[in-house]
Amino acid sequence: QSFNRLKYLPPYYTLSQVELDIALDPARTIVKSRLEVLPGPNHEAGLPLVLQGQELEFVSLRINGEAHRQFELTPLTLTIHALPHDGCQAFSVEIICVCIPEKNTSLMGLYVSNGNFFTQCEAEGFRKITYFLDRPDVMARYRVILRAREAEYPVLLSNGNLLSTEKLANGWHTAIWEDPFPKPAYLFALVAGKLECIEETITTSSGAKKLLQIWVESHDLKKTRHAMDSLIASIYWDEKRYGLELDLERFMIVAVGDFNMGAMENKGLNIFNTKYVLAQAETATDADFANIESVVAHEYFHNWTGNRVTCRDWFQLSLKEGLTVFRDQEFSADQMGSESGRAVKRIEDVRLLRQLQFPEDAGPMAHPIRPDEYQEINNFYTVTVYEKGAEVVRMYQTLLGREGFRKGMDLYFKRHDGQAVTCEDFLMAMADANGCDLEQFKNWYGQAGTPTVSVVESYNAAKKEYQVTVTQHPPANVKNKDTKLFHIPLAMRLLTPAGDQQESLLELTQESQTWTFPDVETRPVLSINRNFSAPIKLDFDQSEADLLTLFSSDDDAFNRWEAGQKLAMQMILQGRLPDAALISAYRDLLMDPALDPAFKDLALTLPAETYLYEQCVSVDPQKIYVARRAFRKAIARELRMEWASLYQQMQTPGPFNPDAASAGKRALKNLALSMLLEADPLIWSPMAVNQYRNADNMTDRYAALAALVIQGSSSAVACLEDFYAHFADDPLVIDKWFSLQASRPPVTDAVATLSDVRRLQGHEAFRMNNPNRVRSVIHAFCMNNPASFHQMDGSGYAFWAESVLALDAINPQVAARLARGLDRWKQFAQPYQSLMRAALERVAESETLSADVKEVILKALGD
C-alpha cells in the first residue's frame, strides 16, 4: 500500500479530549479510553468513524455511555457505524482493549525494556496501544490514569503535569497526569518502572520556576550530569536566540536501553536511547558527549518546532525535523565557544551530509525533503528529511540574514501556534515576514537529487576584470524530465594577495548566470560555496596550485578544509600518493600555532571511502581501500616528526573536561597516535598500549585501543580482553567493544573480519533484540566497514541477506535500516554488482517481509 501526498484529506472526525486509563501488566495491559469526538472539517452526515488499531485485542465499545454493536474490526481498523445524530454532533466513545508489551519486539507502541515500561508512538505507534484517530492533524487534550503494581513499578510518568497519586489496597498504585496542551497521538508517552532521577529547578524568562528531571536506572544516576547541563543550556539558548520559553511546569527526560532511534520529543516527557543520555569521562568519548548535547537540544527544541507547531501529515516531516536539526546544529556551534569552533561544527555536519545523504540522494531511495509517496513512513526518517532538510532551512537564513530569519520564525509561531501545518506554511511565513518572493525556493522541497553547479572562470589581465559563469545542472538520477531550477545561494570571495575583495552572495536562479568583477588587480583565486552555503556538488576544475592556495590561506575555514579534501580525493582516485607540495602544506598546517587543533584533525582526516565511491562511475571497493590506505600511510611516514611532536604537545593534563577545546586537542593527539602506528607500528605500539592502560577517560582509552586494532597489532588481543573484562557490566561501552571489532578494516586477510563478526554474534553478550547491540555488530560490519564487507566471493552480502531476514522477524525498523546497505549496488563493478543483486533478490523472495523491508528492497531492485 502506498500513500500519496496530494491525496491528503482533512479528517472526517476530530477529538477534543482523551482520557486513558491504563493498567500496566507486561503480559496483559488493559487500556480503557474515552474519546470526545467532534465532526471534523471534512465531515458529512452518516460517515462512519474509522479508528486505527494494530495487534490489539478488542474487548468492548460504548458510545455516549451505551454498549454499541454496529462496528467492524479488521487487523488494522475499528470502524464504527450508526453514530448518534449521524455523527454531526459531539459524542463520546469508550473502548476497552488489551495489548501485550512483553511480546512487543518492534519497540513501537508500549513495550518492556529491562523490566520497565516505555512507549514510542511516532510515527504510528499509538495505534498499537489503543484504537485511535492516529494522524498528526488530530490534536486533543489528554488526561491519563496509570495503574501498576507499586513494588515493581514505583515510578509512573506521562505527559504534562502530575495531578495526583494514590495507593490502592491490592498493592497497586495510580498516578494521574494531565497535559494542558492539545497534541497529536504521536507525542503521547508513558514510562513506568524502577527508575530514579536527578532534578534541578530553573527560572525561565517569564520568571516561572520549572522542574527538570532526568530519569534512569539507579546505577546510572552518576552519568546524568552532562545531559542535565545540556538541557539547561538548550533552554536558555532557545530563549536568547528565538525568544522561545519552556511552556510546562515540568520537563522530563527518561533513558531506555532498547530504542529504535536516538530519542523522542514526547510533550514534557522525552524518551531517549541511553546512548544519548549517559556519559561520564570513564565510559563516554568526546564524540558521545557532543552527541548527547546535540540530541538533548534537538528534542528540547522540538517542544516549539514540532509540538507547539506540528505537522499536518507525515509528508511534512521535514517541517519539524529539518528545522529542528538546523536549530540543534546552530546551538552546538554556539556551544563550541569560538569562531573556529563554529567552523569545525559546520565541517562535521557537511561531512556527514556528504557521506550519508549524497549517496541516498543518488540512489533508489532518493526522495525530496518533502516526499510525495511512501509505503512505510518509518523508512522516511532519513538523512534527506533531517540533514538535507536542515540545509534547506539554513539557506533561508543565508538568503534572509539572521534577523530576517528570526522575523520569519516569529511570524511562523504567531500564525501557527497550536496548529498542524505544512512546509509551505513555513515558507510563506519566511516570505511574508521579509516581504520577499520565495516561489522558486519551493523547488528545494519538491525535487530529489543533489544538483550540480559548474563553475567557469576567466580573468582579463588587461582590463583587470574577473568573470565567473555558474551553471546549474539537475540531478542525474531524477526521472522527472521537467526539472525546475533551484534558487541557489552561493557565498563567494575572490582571494587576492592584497585581500581587497569582499565576500558576496551570488543568487543563482537561472540555469546559467555570469558575474563580472572590475578592478581586480591580479588573477584571483576563487573561493565559492563558502561555508557550504548550498547543498550542491561543485564541478569546478580548479588547478592543484589554486587548491593549495585555498588550503593554506582561505579565510573561510570550511573552504580551506574543502580544498584539502579535494586535493586528497583527486590524488587517491588517481592512485597517486601525496606529492611534496601537499605534504609541505600539511606540515605547515599542522605546525601553525594559531590554528584550532580540532580543525587540524579534520584537515588531516581523509575523505571517507563511501564519499570516494560517489565520485566513481564504477566502484571497485578494494582498489579504493588500498589507494586510500596507501595515501594515509604516506602522510603518516612523511610527517612522522610532526606527529610525534603533536602527540606530546596535545596532551591535556589535569581533570577531564569534555569542552570543545580539550576535545579538539585529544582528537589531534589521537590522530597523531594512529598515524604513528601506521608509520612505525613496532616502535609506537608500546606507546599505544601505555595510553590504553593509563588513560583516565574513554576518549583516550578507546582511541589507543582502536589504533592497535586497526593496525592488527599483536597487543590488540590482550587489550580487547582487558577492555571487555573491565566494562562487562556497561552495555554502552560493550557496544563500543563490539563495533570496534566489527568495523576493523582488513589487516592481512579481509575474510577474517566476517568470521570475527560471526564469532561476535555467538558471544554471550550479543542480543539480537537490542537495537544498539545489533547496530554495533551487524550494521557496523555491513555499513561501516566497506573494505571487509565487499568481498569478491559475496560472503559479506550473504551475511547481510541472512541478517536482514532474521532481524525483520524481530524489529522491522532495525531490519529496514540494514536493508538500505545495498542501495547503491548498481554503482559497483563486477563481480560485486551481480552478487549484490543476488542478495537483494534472495531477500525479496521471502514471503513474510515487513512493509518496511519490502519497500526498501523493491525500490533497490527497481520495481
Long-range contacts, stretch 232-236, CB < 8 angstroms, 24+ apart: 232/200, 232/202, 233/293, 233/297, 233/331, 233/335, 234/296, 234/297, 234/300, 234/301, 234/331, 235/202, 235/204, 235/210, 235/300
Asked if 489 contacts 534 with a C-beta cutoff of 8 angstroms, the reply is yes
Asked if 326 contacts 298 with a C-beta cutoff of 8 angstroms, the reply is no
Which of the stretches 321-329, 499-507, 575-583, 679-687 binds Zn ion when contact is defined by CB under 5 A? 321-329
Residues 6 or more apart in contact with residue 482 via CB below 8 angstroms: none
Let me know if 378 is exposed, middle or buried by CB neighbors in 10 A (0-12, 13-18, 19+). buried
| 260 lies in the binding site for ligand ARG (CB under 6 A) | yes
Task: Please name the helix (run of DSSP H) or strand (run of DSSP E) that holds residue 418, with its range, or none.
Answer: none
| DSSP-assigned letters across all residues of 476-512 | TT---SSPPPP-EEEEEEEE-TT--PPPEEEEE-SSE
Q: Report the partner that residue 260 touches, choosing among ligand ARG, Zn ion, none (CB closer than 5 to 8 A by kind).
A: ligand ARG
Task: List the interface residues with Zn ion, window 769-798 (CB under 5 A).
Answer: none
Q: Which amino acid is at 485?
A: L
Asked if 338 contacts 354 with a C-beta cutoff of 8 angstroms, the reply is no
Residues 6 or more apart in contact with residue 635 via CB below 8 angstroms: 578, 583, 586, 604, 675
| 321 lies in the binding site for ligand ARG (CB under 6 A) | yes
Which of the stretches 258-266, 479-487, 541-549, 676-684 binds ligand ARG when contact is defined by CB under 6 A? 258-266
Q: Taking CB under 5 A as the rule, which mask of x and - marks residues 266-305 in contact with Zn ion?
A: ----------------------------------------
| 263 lies in the binding site for ligand ARG (CB under 6 A) | yes
- Measuring CA to CA, which residue among 38, 21, 52, 127 is closest to residue 90? 38
Which of the stretches 15-23, 94-102, 260-268, 761-769 binds ligand ARG when contact is defined by CB under 6 A? 260-268
Q: How many CB atoms lie within 10 A of CB 308?
A: 18
Task: List the interface residues with ligand ARG, window 802-831 (CB under 6 A).
Answer: 813
| 313 lies in the binding site for ligand ARG (CB under 6 A) | no
Task: Please name the helix (run of DSSP H) or strand (run of DSSP E) that holds residue 850, with its range, or none.
Answer: none
Q: Report the partner that residue 19 touches, choosing among ligand ARG, Zn ion, none (CB closer than 5 to 8 A by kind).
A: none
Cβ distance to Zn ion smaller for residue 377 or 557? 377
Which of the stretches 13-21, 323-331, 473-481, 835-843 binds Zn ion when contact is defined by CB under 5 A? 323-331
* CA dihedral sign, ordered 771, 774, 778, 780: positive
Cβ distance to ligand ARG smaller for residue 327 or 628? 327
CA angle 581, 582, 584 (to 5 degrees): 65
Q: Report the partner that residue 264 touches, choosing among Zn ion, ligand ARG, none (CB closer than 5 to 8 A by kind).
A: ligand ARG
- Return phi, psi of residue 198, to 5°: -100, 145
Q: Cα–Cα distance between 367 and 363 in angstroms, integer? A: 9
Cβ distance to ligand ARG smaller for residue 265 or 596? 265
Least CB distance to ligand ARG at residue 308 (A): 15
Least CB distance to ligand ARG at residue 186 (A): 8
Least CB distance to ligand ARG at residue 823 (A): 18
Q: Cα–Cα distance between 157 and 162 in angstroms, integer? A: 8
Least CB distance to ligand ARG at residue 267 (A): 12
Q: Report the partner that residue 554 touches, choosing among ligand ARG, Zn ion, none (CB closer than 5 to 8 A by kind).
A: none
Least CB distance to ligand ARG at residue 107 (A): 8
Least CB distance to Zn ion at residue 193 (A): 25
Which of the stretches 117-125, 557-565, 603-611, 746-754 binds ligand ARG when contact is defined by CB under 6 A? 117-125
Asked if 818 contacts 800 with a C-beta cutoff of 8 angstroms, the reply is yes
3-state secondary structure of 96: strand
Least CB distance to ligand ARG at residue 302 (A): 6
**Cα 654 to chain center, whole Å?**
33
3-state secondary structure of 165: strand
Q: What is the DSSP letter of 190?
A: E
Q: Cα–Cα distance between 170 and 700 in angstroms, integer? A: 52
Q: Report the partner that residue 179 touches, choosing among ligand ARG, Zn ion, none (CB closer than 5 to 8 A by kind).
A: none
Least CB distance to ligand ARG at residue 667 (A): 26
Which of the stretches 246-254, 314-322, 485-493, 712-720 binds Zn ion when contact is defined by CB under 5 A? 314-322
Least CB distance to ligand ARG at residue 750 (A): 34
Q: Taking CB under 6 A as the rule, which mask of x and - marks residues 322-361 in contact with ligand ARG?
A: ----------------------------------------
- Return phi, psi of residue 9, to 5°: -130, 140
Task: List the interface residues with ligand ARG, window 358-387 (CB under 6 A).
Answer: 378, 381
| 123 lies in the binding site for ligand ARG (CB under 6 A) | yes
**Cα 674 to chain center, whole Å?**
28
Q: Report the partner that residue 381 touches, choosing among Zn ion, ligand ARG, none (CB closer than 5 to 8 A by kind).
A: ligand ARG
Which of the stretches 313-321, 349-357, 775-783, 853-861 binds Zn ion when contact is defined by CB under 5 A? 313-321
Least CB distance to Zn ion at residue 18 (A): 23
For the chain, what is the radius of gyration of the CA atoms?
28
Among 140, 261, 297, 400, binds ligand ARG (CB under 6 A): 261
Q: Cα–Cα distance between 321 and 324 in angstroms, integer? A: 5
Cβ distance to Zn ion smaller for residue 94 or 265? 265
Name the one residue in this structure whose C-alpha cell is 551475511: 799
Q: Report the partner that residue 258 touches, choosing among Zn ion, ligand ARG, none (CB closer than 5 to 8 A by kind).
A: none
Least CB distance to ligand ARG at residue 367 (A): 15
Per-residue burial over 729-746, b = 16 or more CB atoms within 10 Å of its CB, e = otherwise: ebbbbbbbbbbbbbbbbb
Q: Cα–Cα distance between 311 and 422 in angstroms, integer? A: 6
Least CB distance to Zn ion at residue 200 (A): 24
Q: Which of 217, 299, 330, 642 is catalytic?
A: 299
Cβ distance to ligand ARG smaller for residue 127 or 147? 127
Q: Parallel, antiparallel, or unpaired for β 13-23 and 140-149?
A: parallel
544 is catalytic: no
Q: Report the partner that residue 378 touches, choosing among Zn ion, ligand ARG, none (CB closer than 5 to 8 A by kind).
A: ligand ARG
Which of the stretches 86-94, 120-128, 657-665, 772-780 binds ligand ARG when contact is defined by CB under 6 A? 120-128
Cβ distance to ligand ARG smaller for residue 260 or 434? 260
| 299 lies in the binding site for ligand ARG (CB under 6 A) | yes
3-state secondary structure of 605: coil
Residue nearest to ligand ARG (CB): 381
Q: Tell whether omega for the bond before 831 is within 30 degrees of 0, i.e. cis.
A: yes
Which of the stretches 263-271, 615-623, 678-686, 827-835 binds ligand ARG when contact is defined by CB under 6 A? 263-271
| 264 lies in the binding site for ligand ARG (CB under 6 A) | yes
SS3 track for 678-714: HHCHHHHHHHHHHHHHHCCCHHHHHHHHHHHHHHCCC
Cβ distance to ligand ARG smaller for residue 258 or 321? 321
Residues that bind Zn ion (CB under 5 A): 321, 324
Residues in touch with ligand ARG (CB under 6 A): 120, 122-123, 260-261, 263-265, 298-299, 321, 378, 381, 813
| Active-site annotation, residues | 299
